[in-house]
Every structure is written in C-alpha cells, then in structure tokens.
Amino acid sequence: MSNAITYVRRSLTICVAILVSQLGGVDSADRAELFQSTNLIPRSVLFGNPERQAPELSPDGKYLAFLAPRDGVMNVWVAPVDDPGNAKPITNDTVRGIRIYFWAYDGKHLLYAQDQNGDENYHIYRTDVITGETTDLTPGDKIRAMIYSLNERTPNELLVGLNDRVPQLHDVYHIDLQTGERTLVEQNPGFAAYLIDHDNKARFALTFSPTGGQILLSRDQAGEWKPYLEIPNTDALSTRLSGFDKANAHAYLIDSRERNTSALFSLDLETGATKLLAEDSKADVAGIITHPTEKHVQAVSFNHTRTDWKILDADLQPDFDYLKSVESGDLNITSRTLDDRLWTVAFAPDNGPVKYYLFDRDARTADYLFSNRTDLDDYTLSPMTPVIIKSRDGLDLVSYLSLPPGSDGDGNARPDQPVPTVLLVHGGPWARDQWGFHPLHQWLANRGYAVLSVNYRGSVGFGKDFTNAGNGEWSLKMHNDLIDAVEWLVAEKIAPRDQIAIMGGSYGGYATLVGLTFTPEVFTCGVDIVGPSNLVTLLNNVPPYWVPILPMMKDRVGDWTTEEGRRDLMSKSPLSLVEKIQRPLLIGQGANDPRVNQVESDQIVNAMKEKNIPVTYVLYSDEGHGFARPENRLSFYAVTEAFLAEHLGGRFEPVGDDFEDSTIAVPEGADQVPGLNSALDASAS
C-alpha cells in the first residue's frame, strides 16, 4: 500500500495549495474551517447501501414497507403504519439486494422483481407479509417476466408478461396470488407489448412499423387485432398511451404529434376525439398523478430544468401548498392508500439526502419517517446549478453544474479560478440528466473537481425536435454537443483546457470512447462504464426481447443489416479508431451484461493491447449493465478515484477494505493505476 500512501500525501498537498490560492485574504481560522468542511466523504457513504428508502403504504393503510439492508443486503421491511419504528425484514435476499417491489392489492403480499448476476432475466416473487414465505411466481430458466397489471378491482390476481415460449415475445399470463396458479391469457403473435385496462383486458397491443414508428392495435368485433392509432417514427419516443379512466372509455394519451413537446390528452376510445389536459412549451410530460380508485388525472409534471407540477384537480392544491412548506427539494408522491387518506412523499434536494414523510390528508400533517442517508448530514455537499449551453447550431443544452465546496467564493456558480473538471455523460441515449442529489456529482466535487452533466441532442424530455436531432448522429452532432460543452467550460473559466476528463455509462461509456478516439487531444483521460465500442456488434447482440423494437434502433442508430449500413456504423465506432487514443483510459464491464455484451469491452481492450496502447480493464463476473452490488460499486469507484487523482490531481480516499467481498478482476492494466496492484494483492490474501 506504499504507493497509495504516497499519492494520498501528494493529493493532500495539492489540495492545500489550491485552497490557499483561492482563499486569498481569508484569515487562518476561516481557512481551517473551510478545509474542515471539505473532509473526504467516504465512498461507502455515497455508494454503499442506503439506510432506508422507497417507502410504500399498503393499499389498506395498515402497513408501511421500505427497503433497508438485512445482513448487508437490501431487503423489504414492513412495519405497522402507526409504529414505523417497529419494522421487521420480510424478505431474505442474500446476494444482489432487492431494488424493485410492489404491494399486492390484497394487502397481504408484497411482490418484487429479481434477476441473477445482472442478466436482467427478472422473475416475480411473492412474499407473505405475515409469514415471510417467499415464492417464485415465474420460475424457469432464461425467462424475463414483467408485470402488466396490478388492479384493486381484482386484488388476488396479477397479469404478467413471460417470454417462456418464444424468447423474443412476451405472452400474457394470469396468476392467482393465493395459489400461484398460472393461466395463459394472450399468446403473443409478434407484438412488442400490451396495454391492459382496469378490467384486466388486453385493450391494446403495440408493435413497430418497418420505419421505426409505432402501431397501436385494438380488437374488432370479430376479435381480430386491427390498427387503431399510428405513431410516426418522429414521435415514437414521445407519444404513448398512459392508462385509462375508471370506465375504460377514455385513455390518457401523451402525444407529441402535430406539436413539439408532448402534452397530455384525454382520448375518447369510441370516437377518437381528444381533449387537452396539460402542456408545457419547453418540456414533455414527465409524470402523471391519477386518483387511486376514481382514475381521473389530478396532476401532471413537466421538467425543463426542475420539476414543475400542474394541478388539475382542485382537491389536491391545498395538499401541495402545505407540502411545499414542509421541506425543500423536488416533491414526489411515492404511494397512496386506496381511500386516499395517507400518502408517503419524498423531498429530493440537490445537496442532501432524500427525506420521506407520512402525510395525513385529513389532519393535514406530515410526520417525518426517515432519510435515505443520514450520514450525509456530517459533510459539506455541493449545490447543483442548472445551466443552458448553446450548441454550435443553436440548440439549448440543459445541463447541470456542481463545483467543489469552497471553490465559489461569491456564489455565482463559477469557481474563483478554474478547477479540474469531469464531463459526466448520461446513458440511453434516450434518457436525461435532471436536477437533484447525484452521488457521482457529490463524490467528484468533494474530490476537488467541477462536474458537468449535459443533455446532448437525442436526450428525451425537451421535445421531439431535440430528441430526433440525435438520429444517426452517434459520434457526430451528439458528440459535437459535448465538445461545445467543453468549450463553454473553458470560456466560463470553470475548467483549464488541459484538465477535463470524460466519464459515463452505457451510451455515456460510448461517448467516452468517442471522446478519446474521434477527438483524442480534448480530454485528459476517460472512464468508460459498460460502453459499446462497435455499433455493429452492439446491434447484432441485443437481448432477444429487444427484437420487436429493432426497427426503432435501425431508424435512430443505423442499419446493421446492409453492407452500406455496416460501413456507416463502423465509421462511428471507436473500435475503428483505436490507434488515435493518446490519453489514459479506464474501462469497467459486467460479464453478464445483456445490453452491452462483454465483447464490447474485450474487443477494444484487445485492439489497444495489439497496438501497445495502455488501458486499465476492470471486470465483474456477477454484474450486468452497471454495478448493482454495493461491494462492486465501491471497488470500481475506488479504482476510478485513484485513476482520476493520477491524471487530474484531485484528492482520493485509499482503497482500504473497499475490495472486500467484491468480485473485482483486472485482466489488463492494473499497473496503470497507483496502488491498484497492491490493493488487489491485499484483497486476495
């Protein structure tokens, strides 16, 4: 561990020098206080298991469930709603931890989804709240289950989709929650998905057109599926049905056709007439609140730079007005009882833990339940500032900036002098970054880096024109947006031009590889997490259940089925330009990743080895598309932290015991990261 100790001393020296230069005339007492306020936040605080999170009320209001560690693994705990402190664990996952769970409407069972080692073949499990008995409702090898319907009208039933007959297609099954008996309801002839109404009927089916658009089908009087609504490819990511009214006579339609941003409409299913319910000129529909039993829309959220709720039901306005006075941060309702008397609500700030409350609507009182990480209260956290960066062709890139604590003396969201910076690129690409508490932002800012997340073209939430501007632009205009963000960082004196790293997962990993190959002199170093290196092999190796959506991938990414299309995709693939890499690269990969297969990392690592270009490759045998087990997260970020400190000069926490119980393997380049070899040796002994 001698190398690690050396680098800790060096990084602390650098940190002190930076602080002294920034503080100028501040007296020594203030200087010491500021340094104390920026103590290193342990990785375990940011990336270990949360203390408690995701509270959910049982439909009858008798119980409160939440996720919390049991013997170090996340499980579901349940308490009487009037005695939350008397919670007991009722599930006993011992490996990956439970991340997704639901109450059954019978109030007696909880349901949760779990895969094996990151393969994303999720099974649905039922747990009895009283006995803790757990049953796999969807047993079988290499099958992926999805919940289609949980319905208060049929509290003892569940509709699921299963691809046990044909791997590419999900048939619809009825499951009796009491007995576990499974009955086939719909045999899928080739649809991507079904939409189930409140009578548990498959009301619509969804398929993709050859051009990447969507077709909604409904049954005619003879029971045959016929096209009902066609959605052009330009609207396929921003137009969809989102539930039904109580009588199943109207559907709620999120629609961007004949407009740019999607709005919420009520669609008369008999006449086809629509009625506008809510819209925003800058943002798409982000969320919908409907009454738990009456099913009418009560509120709609939009998110341009922050979440904004539009209240449609006057009954909710006093509730929202009161809750805004309880805590700061963006408000979200996480659960409601069927009688709508009790809610659990979450307040999510940018510089602190998420806080959860139990809200009694009748009494108009909100009782604090818990926060997800109370240990964050011991540290100075950084605010996240929304900024809008102009792309070279005039697009607004909604972005989020975090600065190291103490670096912004006048509070103008600019450091007093440029600081090393990490450009953190989101995955998808059909996703988005948003304001709030972001562990990676807080971690990197605490280590001395500015952090910028950019919603580049192709991101969703800002209107279909912005999303569609990314079609076919992988490594081209999508990458230009990131380069424009780099230029903005330099022009705004946030970052020195020669101290900017790029980091991201999935598409963000691809963007990292593009950054180091297509623009090899822009970034100081890069961290690629499960990013594709070859777009042809990426699209040739998708999970079987992605097959129905491949027309959309062909439209938005490229055509891997023709020679011309493959040439175009290879021209956008970092693997084709490996010889251009000049800057240090760290790659993290899960061996069981079904979306971005291990071959994507293997092939670029092998190509770099053949050309004698150094690279560090970290591999996990029990992970998939990202690192779910906290032991693996901690180990990877320990490596990343030392890697960034070596090349950007920030602070870092020694590895310590963060390799313990991790499956970390480093098949290539351990000697490229200070202290990594000795940490691996120590963990193996």
Catalytic residues: 506, 593, 625
Residue 643 near residue 525 (C-beta atoms within 8 A): yes
CA 210 distance to own-chain centroid: 29
User: Strands, DSSP E only, in 320-407?
Assistant: 330-336, 342-348, 355-360, 365-371, 384-390, 396-402
Query: Which amino acid is it at 132?
Result: G
**Residue 624 DSSP one-character state:** B
E strand or H helix at 146: strand 145-149
Task: Identify the H or E element spanning 445.
Answer: helix 439-446
Burial class from Cβ neighbours inside 10 Å (0-12, 13-18, 19+) for residue 17 reads: exposed
The DSSP bridge pattern shows strands 500-505 and 421-425 to be: parallel
Q: Which amino acid, residue 516?
A: L
Q: Residue 409 in 3-state DSSP?
A: coil
Short-list 185, 179, 202, 177, CA closest to 103: 177
How far apart are alpha carbons 378 and 376 in whole angstroms? Answer: 5
DSSP 149-175: E--TTSTTEEEEEEEEEETTEEEEEEE
Encode 31-44: b = buried (16+ Cβ within 10 Å), e = exposed.
beebeeebebbbbb
* Residues 437/453, Cβ–Cβ less than 8 Å: no
Q: In what order do the strands lie in the sheet with 63-70?
A: 53-57, 63-70, 73-80, 88-89
Q: Give the angle 121-124-129 at the CA atoms, nearest 5°.
A: 150
The answer for residues whose C-beta is within 8 angstroms of residue 627's C-beta and 6 or more apart is 529, 588, 590, 620, 633, 636
User: What are the residues facing 389 on neighbouring strands?
Assistant: 397
The secondary element (H helix, E strand) that includes residue 76 is strand 73-80
Cβ neighbors of 608 (< 8 A, separation 6 or more) are: 578, 581, 585, 614, 615
